[in-house]
A and B are shown apart, each in its own frame.
Chain A
């Protein structure tokens, strides 16, 4: 079985300061990992994905994440927060096997607040 734990339900930062959203995963094999963002009353948008190529993954809007197998972590970072980054962020692991392909398991989400 696989699972994802987002370590913070809420993160608050000031505009222009770094962002760190933490995620740990559990998987019995080499996983595919994703970060999605959901703005209020909007659908889920893919930020970035890790699929066993480079361990440092760059995504849209200046976000990046580093896959660390030894720590089973996939933390999301951004050097400088912008007001438009305020949203809910989901760390996600994908499962393919048996009769399923690409079945996503979501973390509980981290709400990012950005203060002026």
Chain B
């Protein structure tokens, strides 16, 4: 069956521009997570959605980062006024209700010049 998909797979942007990263979770997975993988910090949690609500946003590094989820499905992570330190791979994962097992997408590799 279809797994978690993310788009774009690669994104190059200039410092100061806004970017949007998209995640399509596995059908029926009510929980959705965003993580960031960078050389200096490893893999870090950003935000957790249950349905369309985000009860845990504790990992968002600054107010330039925001995320939303619509229809209990697709999620968008937006980074405003990008900085070079935002360069990383952004990973999305989803899980079934009541399960702690997460399935990851291939990631979006973001490079801020």
Binding site for B on A (CB under 8 A): 32, 34, 36, 42-46, 49, 51, 90, 94, 96, 98-109
Contact = CB atoms under 8 A, between A and B. Distances in A.
Q: In the complex, which of the residues A36, A51, A101, A108 has the most CB atoms of chain B within 10 Å of its own CB atom?
A: A101
A108 B42 contact: yes
Given A99-B55, A99-B56, A94 B100 contact: yes
Q: In the complex, which of the residues B33, B102, B107 has the most CB atoms of chain A within 10 Å of its own CB atom?
A: B102
B43 A106 contact: yes
A39 B8 CA distance: 20
A42 B45 contact: no
A103 B56 contact: yes
Contacts of B93: 44, 104
A102 B42 contact: no
Tell me if A's interface is mostly helix, strand, loop or mixed. Answer: strand
Nearest to B35: A104
Contacts of A32: 100
A107 to B, nearest CB: 8
Contact of A43 (B50, B58, B104): B104
B56 A100 contact: yes
B104 A102 contact: no
A49 B44 CA distance: 19
Contact of B91 (A43, A45, A108): A43
B33 A102 contact: yes
Contacts of B104: 36, 43-45
B101 interface: yes
